[in-house]
Each structure stands twice: as structure tokens, then as C-alpha cells.
Amino acid sequence: MGFKNLYALLGVAPTATETEIVKAMRQLAQLQLVSLEDLKLCKDTLLNPEARKKYNAQLFAEYPEVLEELTKPKEPEAKPEPEKRNLKTRGKQKNNRKLWVYSAIFILIVLAVASGIAYTYYMPRLEVKNAVKDLLKDPESAKFYDIRKIKNDKTVVYCGGVNARTTAGGYGGKNRFVYLVEKKEAVIIPNERPDDESDEVYYSSLWRGGCQESSLNSALGKAEKWLELHNKEKKAKEKRDSFSWESEQSEYLEASKEYLEINEEASKLKEEITIYK
């Protein structure tokens, strides 16, 4: 279910008081214009100060035009014709003006705090979701789970899960993902072990180092060391296969020993890195 503008649903402004919200809910309930489920959502969200504060922050992130409308300066009203007023009336009007100014300042402070929360909490997560959606076949069907911000070393990443429809039409199952803040790059970690060992080590080092351990740089360093060993292993195998067992047994055996030593070291290191057991 998509995010709902509960204020628009009730026909009230985001600055509405609890009394105004309750009144609007009663009227809509009597007219049966809103479902009981939506009314319960309004009650639990808008009549709970903490829940409403968090909801407002997300509302301003999802609908920035609402925030713009609230902070838009009002056009000055036409001044009434001057008339004689007694001192008591002037004093009352002066107090009313002060009250209006203080109320306006309070609303602006609340909106500033809410927009700050939206910027620091919700906006980065929207950036993460959009980057992951760009990798999906059906971006609009994406469902996200357990998005969390992780800082290790001096690197910041976001980790989480995503499920989306495939080209066949059904949901393909939850996949893990990593979002690298510095590079503004998202990587979806496949659930099945990749056929290519290099891909297996790359995906594993990203998830293990970014989301499970305390150092992404350390995990990537292990991956680079494995890749170096992997290349040496290929060359050692080529060298071994270049010798003939029949005529160059000693050279073949020496090359085989070198190949097996490198292969064993690379296998042990890959076992430390991989998340595919």
C-alpha cells in the first residue's frame, strides 16, 4: 500500500489541531466516506504526537509541495478603512497581532524541524531506494525491508533487502542490497551462488564487509588479495600444462606443486570471504 496523505483524506491542513482532526473524522465517519481502516490509521497517526511528528517528516519528503504551500508567504490583505477605535479595542487588536506572530513563528519552527528530519532521515533513504529501483525489471513493484545505515572506517553504506516482480510477473524473492554512499552506487546481492568465482568474491566482500563486519576496506582488501592469487593460480596451471608428463616429469611435478599451493591458499581465503555456504 502506498503512502497516504491523511490530512488530504480528512480535508484538513497539516497544521490542524487535534480538535479539528477529531471533528473531521467524526463527520466522515457519519457520512461513511472513509473506511474504518483509514480512520484507525488517522487516529493512531495524527492523534499521537510522536507518531504525527514522524509522519509529518515523511509527508514532507513524499509531498514536498505540501511543505512549500505551508511556508509560502501569504499575500497581504487589503487594509480596512481607518475608523475611530477606543484604547481598549486597540490594545486587544495589538495582543491579537502578537499572538498571530508568535503562532506563525511556532509553526515555522515546527516545519523547519520536521523538514530537517525529512532531509537527514528520509531523503537519503529515498536516494537509496531510487538507486536500487534503477537495477530492477519492475521498479514500481519494489518492496523494501530493513534499510539501515552503517558506518565503518570512514565509509558509509546502506544495507537492506528488496523484493520485486520479475519479467515473468511474479515476485522473485527477497534479495540483499548494498548502497555505497560515496559512489552513489547500489549493488543487488544475488541469493544464488554466482557461477563466476570473481563475482562470488565481489558480492560477498561487499555484503560481509559493509553490512556484517566492522571494516569494508578490510573485506575489499581480502577480495583484492584473492584476485591476485586467482590470477597466479591461472598462470601456474598454464605453466604446469605446458609441460609433458611423459618427457618432462620433474618440471611437471614442480609446476603442479606450485599450482596446488596457490590453489589451496586461494581456496582458504575465498572460504573466509564468501557468504555462499
Residue 263: band (very low, low, confident or very high) from pLDDT cuts 50, 70, 90: very high
The predicted model gives 157-185 an average pLDDT of: 91
SS (H, E, C) 86-154: CHHHHHHHHHHHHHHHHHHHHHHHHHHHHHHHHHHHHHHHHHHHHHHHCCCCCHHHCEEEEEEEEEECC
**Is the pLDDT at 272 greater than 80, yes or no?**
yes
In this prediction, residue 119 carries a pLDDT of 46
Spacing of C-alpha 63 from chain mean position: 17
**pLDDT tens digits, 90-133:** 666 666 666 665 665 656 555 544 445 544 556 788 889 999 99
pLDDT score recorded for residue 61: 80
In angstroms, the first-to-last Cα distance of the chain is: 35
More confident residue, 226 or 98: 226
Predicted confidence (pLDDT) per residue in 46-80, tens digit: 999 999 999 988 888 877 777 777 776 666 555 55
Please give the model's pTM, rounded to 2 decimal places. 0.55
Report pLDDT for 115.
Answer: 46
β partners of residue 186: 179
- Average pLDDT of every residue of the chain: 83
> Tell me, what's the pLDDT at 106?
59
Residues 6+ apart with CB under 8 A from 180: 155, 157, 186, 187, 210
* C-alpha–C-alpha distance, residues 107 and 175, integer Å: 42
Quick: pLDDT tens for 227-256: 999 999 999 999 989 988 778 888 888 998
Q: Predicted confidence band at 261 (pLDDT cuts at 50, 70, 90)?
A: very high
Listed by start position, the domains of the chain span 6-74+90-128, 139-273
Residue 226 to residue 208: CA distance in whole angstroms:
15
How far is residue 217's CA from residue 210's CA, in Å, rounded to a whole number? 9
Residue 1 has pLDDT above 60, yes or no: no
pLDDT at 29 over 70: yes
